[in-house]
Amino acid sequence: SLPAAAAVAVAAAAAAFPSIHLPAPVVVGRRFTTALRPSLPLTKATHSHSHSLGSNAIKRTVEELNQGIADLYDSSSPTWENVWGDHMHHGYYDSGLSFWNALQTDHIAAQVRMIEQTLAWAEVPEEGSGKPRCVLDVGCGIGGSSRHLANKYGSEVKGITLSQWQSQRATALTASAGLSKKVSFQVADALNQPFPDNQFDLVWSMESAEHMPDKQKFLQELTRVAAPGGRIIIVTWCHRDLLPGETSLKVAEQRLLDKICDAYYLPAWYSPSGYVNLAQSMNLQDIKSTDWSDHITPFWPAVLASVFTWKGLFGLLKSGRKTLQGALATVYMVQGYNIGLIKFFLITACKVA
């Protein structure tokens, strides 16, 4: 029933705020809150890995991953836009936000705040010669970031996505916003981009790197198309760095990541240190990174809660199995952040001038 489903959503939200005490009548919610936490001690995996660990997730080729991502976003994006608007990424929230305040937050405004906070953290100039004039939005969704960047900087922006529906919808929304002369979109593979070398002053990847089956090739492509002195910004989901003495994630942790991979057509996850090492190996300059996991806590519980609104449920019924599978996997994302397994990671660097 919808009330029971809503209780599950509230329980998932509460799981992201371990200090919250749910009212006694929420029996279903309490039961699911317990289910969101590991029920058994986490034991070490017996195999050895470094940054990108092996898994028991469904084995998919690169072509299958790309097609799965395209199909998932083709089917889910209309529902997402209807419920959440044109930004398809985490919101930025004050750390330490209470559970009840989080429920009342304007999550769409938080998504815009994520863009602004990221640009400020990366120290992208808003004026003068350092202001980006030509921007690439890698994994552009329906163009929310692209239009924001074009409006903010007056830049020419190109967006790429694997989803034909997203590209077409982004183009339509951009025309409605009167930005067609500055902003354009196309279907393209981020690992084989259709752009010449040294073109973009700012290369922007807001939550697309996690979809890349070859992280080294991905960063090589971002570096190739960046102009000399141009800035690269990557915002992505990672698994935690391994602790001293660890050779792999724990079995329960890897199983949880496998479930997310299966639902969202993700390849093996990467660690924050893995991205830093890649950036260093490519002789990028001014490398800076940070973990904003504390600033995105309310997001996935809010997404899960939106699934169980009438608008969300109606959209899921129209969207089909893959979208429903992705919606239900939000529970795993909540759990991953809650136990410190998933990290919300940012890295920025400049190409040698």
Instruction: Kindly state the tokens that stand for 179.
Output: 């930005």
Is the pLDDT at 270 greater than 60? The verdict is: yes
Q: What pLDDT does 55 receive? A: 63
Q: What pLDDT does 333 receive? A: 92
Contacts of 280 (CB under 8 A, 6+ apart): 287
Least confident of 93-97, 120-124, 199-203, 323-327: 323-327
The more confidently predicted of residues 104 and 323 is 104
What is the chain's Cα-based Rg?
20
Please state, in angstroms and as integers, the Cα–Cα distance from residue 239 to each residue in 200, 250, 251, 344, following that order. 29, 11, 13, 9
N- to C-terminal Cα distance for the chain?
A: 59
> Strands 134-138 and 200-206: what pairing?
parallel
Q: What pLDDT does 145 receive? A: 98
Running DSSP on this structure, what letter comes out for residue 213?
S
Least confident of 88-92, 105-109, 232-236: 105-109
Is the pLDDT at 21 greater than 70? The verdict is: no
pLDDT digits (tens, 9 = 90+) for 133-146: 999 999 999 999 99
Least confident of 7-11, 88-92, 142-146, 152-156: 7-11
Give the pLDDT band (50/70/90) at residue 7: very low
Please state, in angstroms and as integers, the Cα–Cα distance from residue 193 to each residue in 2, 134, 161, 216, 292, following that order. 44, 16, 11, 14, 29
pLDDT digits (tens, 9 = 90+) for 202-227: 999 999 999 999 999 999 999 999 99
Strand partners for 138: 160
Is the pLDDT at 335 greater than 50? The verdict is: yes
Please state, in angstroms and as integers, the Cα–Cα distance from residue 8 to each residue in 4, 14, 32, 76, 208, following that order. 6, 10, 6, 21, 28
